[in-house]
């Protein structure tokens, strides 16, 4: 990934990553879809536990970001022995963190669900699902981190194969175990959790086997003694990425709180943003795939002592993202009501969802630019820069403008939608400024 055509390198990494993102999307969608066949209570509990699980997985994602930055740079510099050392420490680190969180999830599930203030009538469902998901937490951590190792080395076809199996087993398993098809027992809502646990455990096993059939085959032969120095480097790069996700999601919760204060308009507005985000999630998939590709390509080219090529490839990834999301956004903008009708049936919610989509489609090119450049900065190890950009965009721009437009100025939900667009535009310019400054070229990760 450090020589030859830049566009070829981008394509080689991006199309498998896009398919992986699509597989992940459908897994989450099917879990909620199947839950809807059981009862609204189960559907609500699945959504709630998925949100809790996302916060737990943030740490695994942070470890994987630190791992990609260190491993891709080592591989780009031709130091595969160092890449192996970082890989072992990342896997150990993930196991230790997952072990602690698994115990917390299993033994304190009742307290965790109660502390969130979740309705009494569905607490038992949420507790059961949380325990099942917690049992599979270690496997999921190893699946995420091992996939990041393949990605960092440019071997993206391996995690693509794994995620195809994981998604197929999860989707089919959800139907089979919930409704008791064929010779399988009918587990009801617990089947959703069991299907996820089985699929991620299988995925972990596949990746561990694929290690022995790839350039990573030597990973099992070296030392597995803890190296606090290497773990510290992973943490130094990863913790800002975790804080970034926490800051963004906490800000989104406050945004929902603002919408909940709009009086008679609140329920319609909250339903509209939930529907709109589902549609946007599909549009974002190419941008997230390009984000991950940027992380690997910039890391490997920095490792090869070629920062100019690293910079060129990320700007090209950003251009590809802007063009792709602009085209998708234009299609949704022109057919906003038709897209809204896929998820909204109530006339008022349909109208507000359409309104949300038409306004927020303006932001899509800026989102693509921000995601591509943040991926490049993460790959270079400049996670603190992206953290501050997101915190500023969410907490100093989006939330104050949202409050001002929605309440004192009286624009209601429309003001919230425009505040989202304004903050994304500001965020993209801040991210572009951070990347253009070139400070990431001089970061010493070792």
Which residue in the block uniquely carries the two structure tokens 């839950």? Answer: 35
The predicted-structure confidence for 273-300, as pLDDT tens digits, reads as follows 888 888 898 899 999 999 999 999 999 9
Domain ranges of the chain: 1-226, 240-446
pLDDT of 201 reads 95
Helix, strand and coil percent figures for the chain, each rounded to 5: 85, 0, 15
pLDDT of 118 reads 64
Other C-beta atoms lying within 10 Å of the C-beta of residue 346: 12
At residue 416 the predicted structure's pLDDT band, cuts being 50, 70 and 90, is very high
Residue of higher predicted confidence among 311 and 26: 311
Largest alpha-carbon pair distance within the chain? 65
pLDDT of 299 reads 93
The predicted-structure confidence for 262-276, as pLDDT tens digits, reads as follows 888 888 888 888 888
pLDDT of 339 reads 92
Other C-beta atoms lying within 10 Å of the C-beta of residue 134: 26
The predicted-structure confidence for 383-405, as pLDDT tens digits, reads as follows 999 999 999 999 999 999 999 99
Q: Residue 43 pLDDT more than 80? A: no
Cβ-Cβ contacts under 8 Å for 46 (sequence gap 6 or more):
31, 32, 35, 129, 189, 192
In contact, 357 and 331? CB cutoff 8 Å: no
Mean pLDDT computed over 424-446: 92
In contact, 102 and 413? CB cutoff 8 Å: no
Q: Residue 120 pLDDT more than 90? A: no
In contact, 289 and 21? CB cutoff 8 Å: yes
Distance CA 115, CA 104 (A): 14
Q: Note the Cα 317 to chain centre separation in Å.
A: 19
Which residue in the block uniquely carries the two structure tokens 């943030």? Answer: 58
Q: Percent of the chain at pLDDT above 70? A: 99
The predicted-structure confidence for 342-370, as pLDDT tens digits, reads as follows 877 788 889 999 999 999 999 999 999 99
Nearest in space to 220 (alpha carbons), one of 230, 232, 209: 209
Which region among 111-115, 120-124, 322-326 has the lowest average model confidence (pLDDT)?
A: 120-124
pLDDT of 420 reads 96
Task: Give pTM, 2 decimals.
Answer: 0.87
Mean pLDDT computed over 258-264: 87
Q: For the chain, how many residues are written? A: 446
Which residue in the block uniquely carries the two structure tokens 């927020």? Answer: 360
Q: Residue 125 pLDDT more than 90? A: no
Mean pLDDT computed over 51-62: 85
pLDDT of 119 reads 66
Axis crossing angle, helix 40-76 with helix 228-259, rounded to the nearest 10: 140
pLDDT of 270 reads 85
At residue 44 the predicted structure's pLDDT band, cuts being 50, 70 and 90, is confident
Q: Residue 33 pLDDT more than 90? A: no
pLDDT of 235 reads 92
The predicted-structure confidence for 165-183, as pLDDT tens digits, reads as follows 999 999 999 999 999 998 8
Mean pLDDT computed over 84-101: 94
Distance CA 319, CA 427 (A): 17
pLDDT of 256 reads 83
Question: b/e string for 106-116 if b means 16 or more Cβ within 10 A?
Answer: eeebeebbeee
pLDDT of 344 reads 78
The predicted-structure confidence for 304-356, as pLDDT tens digits, reads as follows 999 999 999 999 999 999 999 999 999 999 999 999 988 777 888 899 999 99
The predicted-structure confidence for 191-220, as pLDDT tens digits, reads as follows 999 999 999 999 999 999 999 999 999 999
Q: Residue 46 pLDDT more than 90? A: no
pLDDT of 149 reads 95
Q: Residue 446 pLDDT more than 70? A: no
């Amino acid at each position: 990934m450090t020589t030859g055509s830049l566009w070829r390198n981008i394509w080689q990494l991006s199309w498998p990553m896009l398919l992986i993102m699509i597989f992940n999307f459908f897994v989450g969608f099917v879990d909620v879809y199947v839950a809807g066949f059981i009862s609204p209570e189960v559907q609500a509990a699945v959504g709630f536990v998925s949100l809790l699980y996302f916060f737990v997985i943030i740490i695994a994602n942070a470890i994987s970001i630190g791992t990609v930055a260190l491993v891709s740079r080592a591989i780009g510099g031709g130091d595969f022995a160092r890449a192996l050392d970082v890989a072992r420490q990342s896997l150990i680190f993930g196991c230790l963190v997952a072990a602690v969180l698994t115990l917390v999830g299993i033994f304190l599930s009742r307290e965790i669900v109660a502390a969130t203030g979740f309705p009494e009538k569905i607490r038992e469902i949420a507790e059961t699902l949380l325990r099942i998901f917690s049992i599979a937490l270690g496997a999921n951590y190893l699946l995420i981190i091992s996939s990041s190792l393949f990605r960092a080395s440019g071997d993206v076809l391996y995690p693509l194969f794994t995620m195809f199996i994981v998604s197929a087993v999860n989707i089919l398993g959800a139907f089979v175990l919930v409704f008791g098809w064929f010779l399988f027992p009918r587990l009801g809502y617990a089947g959703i959790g069991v299907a996820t646990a089985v699929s991620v455990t299988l995925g972990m096993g596949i990746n561990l086997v694929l290690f022995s059939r790839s350039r990573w085959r030597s990973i099992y032969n070296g030392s597995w003694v803890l190296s606090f120095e290497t773990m510290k480097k992973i943490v130094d790069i990863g913790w800002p990425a975790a804080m970034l996700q926490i800051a963004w999601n906490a800000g989104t919760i406050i945004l929902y709180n603002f919408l909940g204060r709009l009086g008679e308009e609140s329920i319609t507005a909250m339903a509209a943003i939930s529907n709109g985000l589902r549609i946007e999630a599909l549009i974002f998939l190419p941008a997230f795939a390009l984000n991950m590709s940027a992380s690997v390509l910039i890391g490997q080219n920095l490792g090869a002592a070629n920062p100019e090529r690293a910079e060129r490839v990320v700007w090209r990834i950003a251009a590809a993202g802007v063009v792709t999301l602009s085209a998708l956004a234009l299609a949704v903008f022109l057919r906003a009501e038709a897209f809204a009708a896929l998820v909204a049936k109530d006339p008022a919610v349909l109208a507000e969802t359409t309104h949300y989509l038409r306004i927020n489609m303006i932001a899509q090119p800026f989102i693509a630019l921000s995601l591509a450049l943040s991926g490049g900065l993460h790959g270079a190890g400049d996670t603190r820069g992206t953290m501050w950009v997101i915190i500023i965009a969410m907490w100093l721009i989006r939330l104050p403008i949202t409050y001002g437009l929605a309440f004192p100025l009286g624009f209601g939900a429309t003001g919230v939608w425009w505040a989202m667009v304004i903050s994304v535009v500001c965020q993209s310019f801040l991210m572009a400024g951070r990347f253009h400054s070139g400070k990431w070229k001089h970061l010493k990760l070792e």
